[in-house]
Amino acid sequence: MTSTRNDQIFQQYLELIDKHLEELLKGDTDTMLELQDFAKQLFIHPTHLSNVVKELTGHHPCYFYEKKLLITAKRLLDDASYSIAGVAAALTFDPSNFTKWFKAFAGVTPSQYRKGVTAANASLDLVALNTALFPTPPEVRV
């Protein structure tokens, strides 16, 4: 099998992850796919998919799935209109399992993440306000 074919398998795998996450968010599916499900869609054996991804990246296929899932979870948590339980449900997690999973992969709980995002936004707003109120004086040349 050529490197080009392996690259193609890897790219198709990443595209399938994105498609699956979109379907989850749209409510088109409520089932979290597993490695064998992705391999089946690619018409290859799960072990082959795993070997190709590991060979190209040094990571197990689950790494990319979890990473994209975490990015999606963070994007949803950034939107205060979604409750944490709602984010968990959208991603097919039980709320307590979502909190454990999120903390394991993000290093903080969803509520801590959300507070950090809120604090960061407030801090940026304060910087913008200070800049507007106290603009940097023009440079004085001597």
**Span 92-134, pLDDT tens digits:** 999 999 999 999 999 999 999 999 976 665 555 545 555 555 5
The yes or no reply on domain 3-133 and CATH 1.10.10.60 is: yes
pLDDT value of residue 117? 75
Reduce the DSSP state of residue 31 to 3 states and report it: coil
- pLDDT of 32-85, one tens digit each? 999 999 999 999 999 999 999 999 999 999 999 999 999 999 999 999 999 999
Please say whether the dihedral angle defined by the alpha carbons of residues 69, 72, 74 and 76, taken in this order, is positive or negative. Answer: negative
Tell me what the pLDDT averaged over the chain comes to: 88
User: Burial code of 77-110, b = ≥16 C-beta within 10 A, e = fewer?
Assistant: beeeebebeebbebbebeeeebbebbeeeeeeeb
- pLDDT of 72-99, one tens digit each? 999 999 999 999 999 999 999 999 999 9
pLDDT value of residue 122? 54
Q: Which of 110, 108, 107 is nearest to 91 (CA)?
A: 110
